[in-house]
Copies of this chain bind each other. A is one copy, B any other.
C-alpha cells in the first residue's frame, strides 16, 4: 500500500506512551521504520539503545534527551539525532503530551536495555 491513512493504523501502547507505526516492514521496508508517539506528562521511554541510527522530530511538548549521560532540554519543533547504539532516554518534563515522530534506519527495529537485554515491543516495528 503506497498511501496510508494514519488514523486507520493499529494503535499500541507502553505505560505512558501511545504508539502508531506509520511505516516499516509491514509495508515492505527493510531500512526505514517510522513511528508516531505521544508521551504523557511525566512519562518517559526506558533508557535504551538500537543497533541503528535514529532521528526524532518533536512536534509539540517539552522534554529532556538523556544521551549517554548528557542531559539536553528541548521544546517543540526540534530534531533529536541519536547515533547508532547510543544509550538514550526521552522524558516528558512538560505539562502537555510530548508528540513526536521517531525514525529508525532499519525495520524491524531491535531495541535493547543498556546492558544488551532485548526489549520486547508490543508493536510491529
Chain A residues close to B by CB (< 8 Å): 1-7, 22-23, 27-32, 34, 52-55, 57, 65, 67, 70, 72-74, 77-83, 101, 103, 105-106
The residues of B that contact A53 with a CB separation of less than 8 Å are 29-32
Main secondary structure, interface of A, reads: strand
The residues of B that contact A28 with a CB separation of less than 8 Å are 81, 83
| B3 touching A65, Cβ below 8 Å | yes
| B103 touching A34, Cβ below 8 Å | yes
Select which of B31, B65, B77 is within 8 A of A6 by beta carbon.
B77
- Offer 15 A-B interface pairs, CB within 8 angstroms, sorted by A: A1-B81, A2-B70, A4-B78, A4-B80, A5-B78, A6-B77, A7-B77, A22-B79, A23-B55, A23-B81, A29-B81, A30-B53, A31-B106, A34-B57, A57-B101
